[in-house]
A and B are shown apart, each in its own frame.
Chain A
Amino acid sequence: MGRYVARRLLQMIPVFIGTTFLVFCMIYVLPGDPVRSLWGDKVPDPAQLAAIRAQLGLDQPLWQQYLDYMGGLLTGDLGTTTVGRPVADEMGRAFPVTIRLAVIAFLFSSVAGITLGVLGGMRRGKYVDTGILIFTMLVISMPVFVLGYVMRHVFATELGWVTPTVQNSEEIGQLLLPGVVLGMLSLAYVARLTRTTVAENLRADFMRTARAKGLPRRRIVRVHLLRNSMIPVVTFLGTDLGALMGGAIVTEGIFNVHGVGRLVYDALVRRESAVVVGTVTVLVLIYLAANLLVDLLYAVLDPRIRYA
């Protein structure tokens, strides 16, 4: 068990180096010059342009820039942006916000999704089930920005329960609405996944045995049915966590949340390789950790699975 975890953690090192290098190369080959674009429509002074590029090390070849960046990483320096702000500060402001948003969305989609899924699966073909199917179909077919605008209009403009945008990105209460919008799509998938596996497992042999043993219904559902139905759901949720963190840009825009999606987008537009590489790498690490967690959860859910 311990060795398994250690091995997985060690595997992260080459992945880490590979991602940083790949992202670094991708930014490097993107057309457009980050320093030139500071001037916009106006005309830069060539000498000043060259001086700023030299100061930022942008006149060095790719491999040199990459080595400098990695050298900085080893000493705990994430680099600076084109305008000289530490990347660590930029990330330190964005990640806490996004983590909160993602946690809200994650809790919402898993708790509500699993509940709906179990309800639908247990009453297959009944009204509740049909209702849930229609609801999830609606959510899946609706683009997130439509959902965002509609929810904002209903809850902020019409009902006035919340402000149209998030006034303070660090307050959990204000992040609830964007969190719900962000988690809505995952909720639909979780509900549908749970419903299918629950419906399947209801007819499984072990369920009949459990019922025949005369176990109380609550125990049958919680321990026998739910636990066995969770493996595909957990797999989905694990991979979804990464998507919730990195892919929240539309939701962040609608509700004016200053999170990671916005940070990466802005950095890409400005060709800030240090910001993009740093942020994407952290996202990859979170994704890897979530996957490790999922694999370990398999063993919890299904005692037959063991890691040595």
Chain B
Amino acid sequence: MRGARSAKWVTGAIVVALAASACGSGDDGSGGGSGLGYDATGKVIGESAEPQKGLIPSDTMEAIGHEVIGALWTGLIKTDPATGEIIYMNAESITTEDSRTWTVTLKDGWTFHDGTPVTADSYVKAWNWAAHIENNQQNSSWFSDIAGYADVHPAEGEPTAETMSGLKAVDEHTFTIELTQPLAYFNYKLEYNPFFPLPESFYEDPAAAAENPVGNGPYRFVSWEHNKFIDVEKWDEYQGPDAAQNEGVVFLNYADSDAAYQDLLSDNIDYVRQVSPNNLAKFEQDLGERAINLPYAAIQTVNFAFYTDQWKDIDVRVLQGLSMAIDRETITSTVLQGTRVPATGWVAKGVMGYEDGACGPYCTYDPETAEELIELGGGVPGNAISLQYNADGGHKEWVEAVCNSIRQAVGVECTSDAKPTFQEDLDARDNKQVKSMYRSGWGMDYPFNGNFLRDLYGTTSAGNKGGFSDKIFDELVAEADAAPTVEESAALYRAAEERLAETFPAIPLWYYEVQSGHSTKVDNVAFDLYGHPILTDITVTGR
């Protein structure tokens, strides 16, 4: 019996040890009186997730972090979601004579949340820091328009300077930006978060500042419990025109958008980022007047891989014909459940310079003309195409619907080419291994039509993955960039967009919309062109 008894002791000991470690590890986690760790009185509670990185404006590119940073910081400008016009925020004015040298004057009296003033240096120093290659900021290439960027961020080898020669602080509230070449709409880029200012305290320990960010925006950072929530509160000394109409925001972390939707229905959260696909059919019924359906500036296209034998010397009429073989109306209303709007051009709605109908007749469904065009153009080589997409992004259904539509309308054999993950999809695109065509999505970086054109279809643009090249388009782009005013630049870009209908580097499919809704406890919930909720406008009544 001795063996059995000692076995009893040992097992008992292990059980006690396991139990102790389970309890012990629990104690350090629970904080705060409510057990939740935040006080939601008067605050908006929204669906969010864990930001990919620490909260540094120049290092954040994905939507979640972008949203939080947008609450904590206010940059030089914002744009009106309805007209695309510039609204000056921290900037008093941004002027230029030649579209090359820009003078920024800041408003007086702005401070960071820690009380230090926002000066010209807060901008100049932050941009120099972010552009420097050794600081490894994901958005560093945003500064590549500025003179001297190549010295702090060389394509190869060591940097030869610490600061960019194109940035100069004139006095406490004025600084100048000199670009490498004229760019008429450079001021529009300044809305994006890499151009936000940083307080002096940031540079002492950037890693710590990323976990405890100090901005100059309408909300002040309170706490960040990783994988649970980020809590921000209204900042009373905020000087901007968009002061918060609520006491703060709690960004709650959700792994699953259906779970978030359930919590919206039971008023546990106040808005969802996007209604999950399984609830799309009934969300308007569930929420009634509280349902939200708003467009934002993003577009889905199908691009041709012009480096393949199939498309290398193709007649453009074949490409136009394929576009006309896609029944966008039916696919958006059935397969996509009304979450997208058929596209009529390559630029998404809402941005500066957007005009309806750049695609001309080629974006409307017309099987007979489509067949004719393809025939006139000499037919699709091999009479078969394939459409590459990533299987982890919910694209399967519509890709197959597009293929079906083409097959039925013009009799071209169309197959879907699924890559298991987004990474593999990107790898194939980056390495020019796409077999025929590929899905491509583009959300705007800044609300100007050139962002959808130059950065995707310019011969030397890094975003031009299909190997498209058109001299006339490139010339129009160069002309637009050098235009004396933003309006003229936008008009020239519009001409460049119309040129795309004659060369057809990609088939426009549809624009994106946000489907969301708000709880009974808040009001005034709307979404901006990035597809993010406009947090400062939300009013809270029941919390």
Task: Assess whether B29 is interfacial by the CB under 8 Å rule.
Answer: yes
Structural contact, B61 and A165, CB atoms closer than 8 A: no
Structural contact, B141 and A48, CB atoms closer than 8 A: yes
Structural contact, B424 and A165, CB atoms closer than 8 A: no
Structural contact, B256 and A254, CB atoms closer than 8 A: yes
- Chain B residue nearest to A302 (CB atoms) is B4
The minimal Cβ–Cβ distance linking B38 to chain A, given in whole angstroms, is 11
Structural contact, B443 and A300, CB atoms closer than 8 A: no
Q: Which residues does chain B contribute within 8 Å of A2, judged by CB atoms? A: 6
Q: Which residues does chain B contribute within 8 Å of A297, judged by CB atoms? A: 7, 11
Q: Say which one of B82-90, B197-205, B257-265 lies at the interface with A.
A: B257-265
Q: When each residue 279-300 of chain A gets 1 if its CB lies under 8 Å from chain B and 0 otherwise, what string results?
A: 0000000000100110011011
Task: Assess whether A74 is interfacial by the CB under 8 Å rule.
Answer: no
The minimal Cβ–Cβ distance linking A93 to chain B, given in whole angstroms, is 6
Q: Within A232-290, which residues are at the interface with B (CB < 8 Å)?
A: 252-256, 258, 262, 269, 271, 289
Q: Which residues does chain A contribute within 8 Å of B155, judged by CB atoms? A: 46-47
Complex CA–CA separation, A284 to B127 (angstroms): 46
The minimal Cβ–Cβ distance linking A1 to chain B, given in whole angstroms, is 5
Structural contact, B133 and A47, CB atoms closer than 8 A: yes
- Chain A residue nearest to B51 (CB atoms) is A83
Structural contact, A258 and B228, CB atoms closer than 8 A: yes
* Residue from B15, B52, B141, B392 in contact with A38 in the complex, judged by beta carbons closer than 8 Å: B52
Complex CA–CA separation, A308 to B6 (angstroms): 11
* Residue from B4, B11, B140, B440 in contact with A48 in the complex, judged by beta carbons closer than 8 Å: B140
Structural contact, B6 and A1, CB atoms closer than 8 A: yes
Task: Assess whether A184 is interfacial by the CB under 8 Å rule.
Answer: no
Q: When each residue 50-64 of chain B gets 1 if its CB lies under 8 Å from chain A and 0 otherwise, what string results?
A: 001110000001100
Task: Assess whether A100 is interfacial by the CB under 8 Å rule.
Answer: yes
Task: Assess whether A84 is interfacial by the CB under 8 Å rule.
Answer: yes
Contact A39 to B228, CB < 8 A, known contacts A31-B423, A32-B426, A163-B268: no
Contact A258 to B255, CB < 8 A, known contacts A38-B52, A156-B266: yes
Contact A43 to B463, CB < 8 A, known contacts A93-B226, A157-B262: yes
Q: Which residues does chain A contribute within 8 Å of B62, judged by CB atoms? A: 38, 40
Complex CA–CA separation, A1 to B455 (angstroms): 71
Task: Assess whether A94 is interfacial by the CB under 8 Å rule.
Answer: yes
The minimal Cβ–Cβ distance linking A261 to chain B, given in whole angstroms, is 9
The minimal Cβ–Cβ distance linking A277 to chain B, given in whole angstroms, is 19
Structural contact, A40 and B141, CB atoms closer than 8 A: no
Complex CA–CA separation, A37 to B419 (angstroms): 14
* Residue from A95, A256, A300 in contact with B254 in the complex, judged by beta carbons closer than 8 Å: A256
Task: Assess whether A52 is interfacial by the CB under 8 Å rule.
Answer: yes
Task: Assess whether A5 is interfacial by the CB under 8 Å rule.
Answer: yes
Structural contact, A293 and B14, CB atoms closer than 8 A: yes
Structural contact, B262 and A165, CB atoms closer than 8 A: yes
Structural contact, B29 and A93, CB atoms closer than 8 A: yes
Task: Assess whether A138 is interfacial by the CB under 8 Å rule.
Answer: no
Q: Which residues does chain A contribute within 8 Å of B207, judged by CB atoms? A: 84
Q: Which residues does chain A contribute within 8 Å of B21, judged by CB atoms? A: 99
Q: Which residues does chain A contribute within 8 Å of B228, judged by CB atoms? A: 169, 258
- Chain B residue nearest to A271 (CB atoms) is B423
Complex CA–CA separation, A40 to B425 (angstroms): 10
Task: Assess whether A306 is interfacial by the CB under 8 Å rule.
Answer: yes
Q: Which residues does chain A contribute within 8 Å of B133, judged by CB atoms? A: 47-48, 51
* Residue from B227, B253, B268 in contact with A164 in the complex, judged by beta carbons closer than 8 Å: B268
Q: Which residues does chain B contribute within 8 Å of A156, judged by CB atoms? A: 262, 266
Interface range for A: 35 or more
* Residue from A36, A169, A253, A296 in contact with B256 in the complex, judged by beta carbons closer than 8 Å: A253
Structural contact, A96 and B25, CB atoms closer than 8 A: yes
Q: Which residues does chain A contribute within 8 Å of B26, judged by CB atoms? A: 96, 100, 170
Structural contact, B25 and A163, CB atoms closer than 8 A: no
Structural contact, A163 and B266, CB atoms closer than 8 A: yes
B21, B26, B156, B441: residue with the most chain A Cβ atoms closer than 10 Å: B26
Structural contact, A5 and B61, CB atoms closer than 8 A: no
Structural contact, B10 and A5, CB atoms closer than 8 A: yes
B1, B7, B22, B426: residue with the most chain A Cβ atoms closer than 10 Å: B7
* Residue from A38, A93, A300 in contact with B61 in the complex, judged by beta carbons closer than 8 Å: A38
Task: Assess whether B285 is interfacial by the CB under 8 Å rule.
Answer: no
Structural contact, A32 and B421, CB atoms closer than 8 A: yes
Q: Which residues does chain A contribute within 8 Å of B136, judged by CB atoms? A: 48, 51-52, 55
Complex CA–CA separation, A115 to B444 (angstroms): 60
- Provide the main secondary structure of the chain A interface: helix
Task: Assess whether B138 is interfacial by the CB under 8 Å rule.
Answer: yes
Structural contact, A157 and B141, CB atoms closer than 8 A: no
Task: Assess whether B125 is interfacial by the CB under 8 Å rule.
Answer: no
Structural contact, B11 and A300, CB atoms closer than 8 A: yes
- Chain B residue nearest to A39 (CB atoms) is B61
Task: Assess whether B471 is interfacial by the CB under 8 Å rule.
Answer: no
Q: Which residues does chain A contribute within 8 Å of B262, judged by CB atoms? A: 152, 156-157, 164-165
Structural contact, B265 and A157, CB atoms closer than 8 A: yes
Structural contact, A31 and B427, CB atoms closer than 8 A: yes
- Chain A residue nearest to B226 (CB atoms) is A93
Q: Within B402-451, which residues are at the interface with A (CB < 8 Å)?
A: 421-424, 426-427, 430, 440-443, 445
Task: Assess whether A307 is interfacial by the CB under 8 Å rule.
Answer: yes
- Chain A residue nearest to B37 (CB atoms) is A168
Q: Which residues does chain A contribute within 8 Å of B52, judged by CB atoms? A: 38, 83
Complex CA–CA separation, A303 to B6 (angstroms): 11
Q: Within B340-355, which residues are at the interface with A (CB < 8 Å)?
A: none
A38, A94, A96, A306: residue with the most chain B Cβ atoms closer than 10 Å: A96
- Chain A residue nearest to B461 (CB atoms) is A43
Task: Assess whether B35 is interfacial by the CB under 8 Å rule.
Answer: yes
Task: Assess whether A45 is interfacial by the CB under 8 Å rule.
Answer: yes
Task: Assess whether A205 is interfacial by the CB under 8 Å rule.
Answer: no
Q: Which residues does chain A contribute within 8 Å of B254, judged by CB atoms? A: 165, 256
Task: Assess whether A167 is interfacial by the CB under 8 Å rule.
Answer: yes
Structural contact, A41 and B442, CB atoms closer than 8 A: yes
- Chain B residue nearest to A249 (CB atoms) is B255
- Chain B residue nearest to A160 (CB atoms) is B266
Contact A307 to B3, CB < 8 A, known contacts A256-B254, A300-B8: yes
The minimal Cβ–Cβ distance linking B522 to chain A, given in whole angstroms, is 18
Contact A262 to B421, CB < 8 A, known contacts A1-B10, A299-B7, A306-B3: no
Contact A165 to B422, CB < 8 A, known contacts A38-B61, A83-B53, A84-B207: no
Structural contact, B54 and A83, CB atoms closer than 8 A: yes
Task: Assess whether A103 is interfacial by the CB under 8 Å rule.
Answer: yes
Q: Which residues does chain B contribute within 8 Å of A164, judged by CB atoms? A: 259, 262-263, 265-266, 268
Task: Assess whether A68 is interfacial by the CB under 8 Å rule.
Answer: no
Q: Which residues does chain B contribute within 8 Å of A47, judged by CB atoms? A: 133, 153-156
Task: Assess whether A77 is interfacial by the CB under 8 Å rule.
Answer: no
The minimal Cβ–Cβ distance linking A225 to chain B, given in whole angstroms, is 19
Structural contact, B35 and A168, CB atoms closer than 8 A: yes
Structural contact, A42 and B4, CB atoms closer than 8 A: no
A-B residue pairs in contact (CB < 8 Å), sample of 14: A31-B427, A37-B426, A45-B144, A47-B133, A48-B140, A48-B153, A83-B52, A85-B226, A99-B25, A165-B262, A167-B268, A253-B256, A256-B255, A299-B7
Give the 3 A-B residue pairs with the shortest CB-CB distance, closest first.
A32-B423, A164-B262, A299-B7
Known: A256-B255, A300-B7. 9 other contacts (CB 8 A): A36-B430, A37-B422, A41-B442, A45-B141, A45-B144, A45-B462, A47-B154, A96-B26, A258-B227
